[in-house]
Chain A
């Protein structure tokens, strides 16, 4: 196996105000280009795991390395920089900043990351290409994000996660607000674009039906030794 884009070792995380550990992961790795479906029921710590990988939370014990870089070696500000440089994020809903246009929302990571901006080439063209690939008509681009349907908003969020070719794309239940037909359409688009950008995809959901088409499927219970309610 070549160097993993993501590697978790001996990880323990407990929320400050709780007695029991939320996550206790001995070993979890994601290879470059890999598309992983992480499945777990509500409250099983999926979002917590993503926050750890994104460097927003820090584990009490253990190591998280992204692209070979141990996150614990970075300062909080450096982790913020690292995140925007290398990770694209999509959430369940409310991904977009309401007062920005669709285009400005997509360009957001390029605003904060010189690396993303540079890798995008011309960010505006890159954004346009991505939006087109994600079936968003050019007539929508200048509109404020709030005027879009939820499905459209999620595709804009996907374009934003992908712009500037981050090595890792993390999606936290991005389809839960969509109907079944749109869910698969969105997933297909997302997987296709991640593959095109050579980005590893970490897709989190409690809905097993969406796992189809993913190269790898991981159950939270498999990797997490802590038993969360």
Chain B
């Protein structure tokens, strides 16, 4: 084996262009396979990290998943709002320790704007029950103060004291609330959750910028300048959802029932964990399909490898006969070819891994900005290594095929190849 290795390497180097192409095919397929696996893992992780310590998410009755996705992840369709009275009723409930009202709908340069209360900074937890921290500045105090998520500030290059205007709706080219600029008073530390991509303002501010609006557009001929808005009642009429923390976790189902039976309007309370596992279940099929497809792509690249090595055998009959004449046993030749295929596969797998790392580094920020998908630049996980192991194993096994052919040829040819 050890005396064959340098031979295998030199022989492979001799055919580096064809083998190189196959290697690239394998590398790309491995990148795809691992990429899908990594996106899957990281998506789960970042979803699971996004909210913790919240016992219930309360919103208008719809699909629990839709509510969770919209309220916590700012993904998908807006759900109906719930009345401010209902939100207040939750606050008053004896089992409730705290509430965080959330009001979504506006945006700034396609980053979502969240209207909330200072309770958000107090009670909102993510990851392993970590609280939000301000990297710079302070929470919003004044009416037109805004606190930026880390990603927003970094992406758009904002600093404390900068003035920004919000857009109505979530599309980039929505009408602007241009007459009421906000000033950046705080920037949150990075969390790796949707918080990073969010701009936080007070509920009253959200109310204030919509005072002179109706049906998604400014009311013509009616403008209220920022100095005057304080004269109006800025109590919100509705919010998108309310995050609820209970005094004891044990009360969660009773509370859920209370919300479900709330008489004034149809409400729903969702346990984040339950909704998430519902999400996993839904995604599992798609995940498996994706994984199967990428596995298929890997197999196709192996078929390419086998074809290339097999096709090369014709030209290599002479080489095999020479090796044979100089002491190589037929099974050495089998080993030689299997070694070659195995090495190309291994190299392909490693290049694939490197490519994935490179892509993660280059595309990661874009993916995070566009899809809120946080791809970690990390050493391969056990799961990924196992996949890689399978790839190399299957590649080596596939290479036994040309190896066996070489074995047969060398037996038939003896020392004088018929070419």
Residues of chain A at the chain B interface (Cβ within 8 Å): 47, 50-51, 54, 56-57, 76-77, 80-81, 83-85, 89, 91, 94-100, 104, 108-109, 111-113, 160, 172
B 307-327 to A, binary, CB cutoff 8 A, 1 in contact else 0 = 000000000001100111111
Q: Is the CB of A97 within 8 A of B327?
A: no
The prevalent SS among residues of B at the interface is helix
Contact partner, A97, options B322, B329, B415, B416, Cβ 8 Å: B322
Q: Judge whether B129 is part of the interface by a CB distance below 8 angstroms.
A: no
Q: Is the CB of A84 within 8 A of B326?
A: yes
- With both chains docked as a complex, state the minimum distance between the C-beta of B321 and any C-beta of chain A, in angstroms: 8
Residues of B near A113 (CB, < 8 A) are 327
Contact partner, B415, options A56, A98, A160, Cβ 8 Å: A56
| Extra A-B contacts (12), CB below 8 Å, given A54-B414, A89-B325, A97-B319 | A56-B414, A76-B329, A80-B324, A81-B327, A83-B327, A89-B415, A97-B322, A97-B323, A99-B10, A100-B10, A109-B326, A111-B327
Closest chain B residue, CB of each to CB of A51: B414
Question: How far apart are the CA atoms of A100 and B322 in the complex, in Å?
Answer: 12
Question: How far apart are the CA atoms of A85 and B329 in the complex, in Å?
Answer: 13
Contact partner, A112, options B14, B328, B330, B331, Cβ 8 Å: B328
Residues of B near A51 (CB, < 8 A) are 414-416
Question: How far apart are the CA atoms of A50 and B415 in the complex, in Å?
Answer: 9
Residues of A near B318 (CB, < 8 A) are 94
Contact partner, A99, options B3, B14, B324, Cβ 8 Å: B14
Q: List 29 A-B contacts (CB under 8 A).
A: A47-B416, A51-B414, A51-B416, A54-B325, A54-B415, A56-B324, A57-B414, A76-B330, A80-B330, A81-B327, A81-B329, A84-B327, A91-B416, A94-B322, A97-B319, A97-B322, A98-B14, A99-B10, A99-B11, A100-B7, A100-B10, A104-B10, A108-B323, A108-B326, A109-B326, A109-B327, A111-B3, A111-B326, A160-B326
Contact partner, B328, options A80, A98, A99, A104, Cβ 8 Å: A80
Residues of A near B322 (CB, < 8 A) are 94-97, 108
Question: How far apart are the CA atoms of A80 and B14 in the complex, in Å?
Answer: 26
Q: Judge whether B13 is part of the interface by a CB distance below 8 angstroms.
A: yes
Closest chain B residue, CB of each to CB of A85: B327
Q: Which residue, A54, A77, A97, has most C-beta atoms of chain B within 10 A?
A: A97
Question: How far apart are the CA atoms of A112 and B335 in the complex, in Å?
Answer: 14
Question: How far apart are the CA atoms of A97 and B327 in the complex, in Å?
Answer: 14
Residues of B near A56 (CB, < 8 A) are 324, 414-415
Question: How far apart are the CA atoms of A76 and B2 in the complex, in Å?
Answer: 21
Contact partner, A80, options B10, B327, B416, Cβ 8 Å: B327
Question: How far apart are the CA atoms of A113 and B325 in the complex, in Å?
Answer: 12
**Interface size class of chain B, counting residues whose CB lies under 8 Å from the partner chain:** 20 to 34
Closest chain B residue, CB of each to CB of A144: B14
Q: Which residue, B7, B11, B325, has most C-beta atoms of chain A within 10 A?
A: B325
Q: Which of B76-114 contact A (CB under 8 A)?
A: none
- With both chains docked as a complex, state the minimum distance between the C-beta of B228 and any C-beta of chain A, in angstroms: 85
Closest chain A residue, CB of each to CB of B320: A97
Closest chain B residue, CB of each to CB of A99: B14
Q: Is the CB of A112 within 8 A of B415?
A: no
Residues of B near A100 (CB, < 8 A) are 7, 10
Sorted nearest first, the 3 A-B pairs with minimum C-beta distance are A84-B327, A112-B327, A99-B14
Residues of A near B329 (CB, < 8 A) are 76-77, 80-81
Question: How far apart are the CA atoms of A211 and B415 in the complex, in Å?
Answer: 24
Closest chain A residue, CB of each to CB of B10: A99
Question: How far apart are the CA atoms of A95 and B326 in the complex, in Å?
Answer: 10
Q: Is the CB of A91 within 8 A of B415?
A: yes
Question: How far apart are the CA atoms of A51 and B324 in the complex, in Å?
Answer: 11
- With both chains docked as a complex, state the minimum distance between the C-beta of B1 and any C-beta of chain A, in angstroms: 12
Closest chain A residue, CB of each to CB of B419: A94
- With both chains docked as a complex, state the minimum distance between the C-beta of A43 and any C-beta of chain B, in angstroms: 13
Q: Is the CB of A91 within 8 A of B325?
A: yes
Residues of B near A54 (CB, < 8 A) are 325, 414-415
If A77-B331, A97-B323 touch, whether A112 touches B414 (CB-CB below 8 Å) is no
Question: How far apart are the CA atoms of A77 and B329 in the complex, in Å?
Answer: 6
Q: Which of B1-18 contact A (CB under 8 A)?
A: 3, 7, 10-11, 13-14
Question: How far apart are the CA atoms of A91 and B322 in the complex, in Å?
Answer: 9
Question: How far apart are the CA atoms of A89 and B416 in the complex, in Å?
Answer: 11
Q: Which of B309-365 contact A (CB under 8 A)?
A: 318-319, 322-332
Question: How far apart are the CA atoms of A83 and B324 in the complex, in Å?
Answer: 10
Question: How far apart are the CA atoms of A160 and B327 in the complex, in Å?
Answer: 12
B 3-39 to A, binary, CB cutoff 8 A, 1 in contact else 0 = 1000100110110000000000000000000000000
Question: How far apart are the CA atoms of A91 and B13 in the complex, in Å?
Answer: 26
Residues of B near A111 (CB, < 8 A) are 3, 7, 326-327
Closest chain B residue, CB of each to CB of A56: B414
Question: How far apart are the CA atoms of A73 and B327 in the complex, in Å?
Answer: 18
Residues of A near B324 (CB, < 8 A) are 56, 80
Residues of A near B323 (CB, < 8 A) are 97, 108
B 399-419 to A, binary, CB cutoff 8 A, 1 in contact else 0 = 000000000000000111000
Question: How far apart are the CA atoms of A89 and B326 in the complex, in Å?
Answer: 8
Residues of B near A172 (CB, < 8 A) are 416
Question: How far apart are the CA atoms of A50 and B322 in the complex, in Å?
Answer: 14
Q: Which of B197-212 contact A (CB under 8 A)?
A: none
Residues of B near A83 (CB, < 8 A) are 325, 327
Q: Is the CB of A112 within 8 A of B326?
A: yes
- With both chains docked as a complex, state the minimum distance between the C-beta of A147 and any C-beta of chain B, in angstroms: 13
Question: How far apart are the CA atoms of A48 and B56 in the complex, in Å?
Answer: 87
Question: How far apart are the CA atoms of A83 and B325 in the complex, in Å?
Answer: 8
Residues of B near A96 (CB, < 8 A) are 322
